[in-house]
Amino acid sequence: LTKADANMLGSYAIVGAHLPMAVGAAWSARLRGTGQLAVAFFGDGATNIGAFHEALNLAAVWKLPVLFVCENNLYMEYTPIADVTAVPRPAADRAPAYGIPGEVVDGNDVVSVQEAVARLARRARAGDGPAVLEAETYRHFGHSRADPATYRPAEEVERWLKHDPLDIARGRLIEAGVPEETVTAADERAQTVVRQAIEAAKSAPPPDPREAFTDVWADGGAAWRT
């Protein structure tokens, strides 16, 4: 998935493969003097991939404006991260080895995340180099539709369900003085948008099978190959 006009460089099927790409994007931004910041999002499992360490090392050596954001949901698909990782915080605990800061934030609290990102972004743009932000969160469901998530303890799931990001955000807004009815109305509008998007996707015609050959080869076509 790529959206160039939104500076979304693309997602990758290979775990951790995009991290060196983010380093390259940060190098490009600095070279061009744009003041841009590269941000790479990845799961806890990617911290055990070599590309993660290569990316942190080069970003640190070159003091690049890049922020590495780890979404730690405690499980590498079906495997508890604690079973296969030597440190408690798979991303933040490894950052100091490369001479860069590693911080942990409540990933279910949007305000805490925003504040941490803003601070680290300012630091990177000021020329102080990269940072790692580890956001602790949780999957409400399995890794995929094929995953019943029965490997997770029921009490753990229940505890995290009570720490829901939307509930926390709602509480933050009301605490800040936003009327509860205003928050409820905003929630209803958001749910309407989501429902409409789902229905639009369901009713959309299937893609043309020929699209599978688009942008596969450098010459832009596949007719002469078939």
Catalytic positions are 139, 143, 151
What tokens appear for 191 in the block?
A: 């749910």
DSSP assignments along 149-169, one per residue: -TTS-HHHHHHHHTT-HHHHH
The C-alpha atoms of residue 213 and residue 220 are separated, in whole angstroms, by 8
End-to-end CA distance of the chain: 27
Neighbour-count burial for 73-97, b at 16+ CB within 10 Å, e otherwise: bbbbeeeebeeebeeebbbbbbbee
What tokens appear for 136 in the block?
A: 């602790």
Handedness of CA 7, 128, 89, 172 (dihedral sign): negative
Confirm if 60 and 94 have CB atoms less than 8 A apart: no
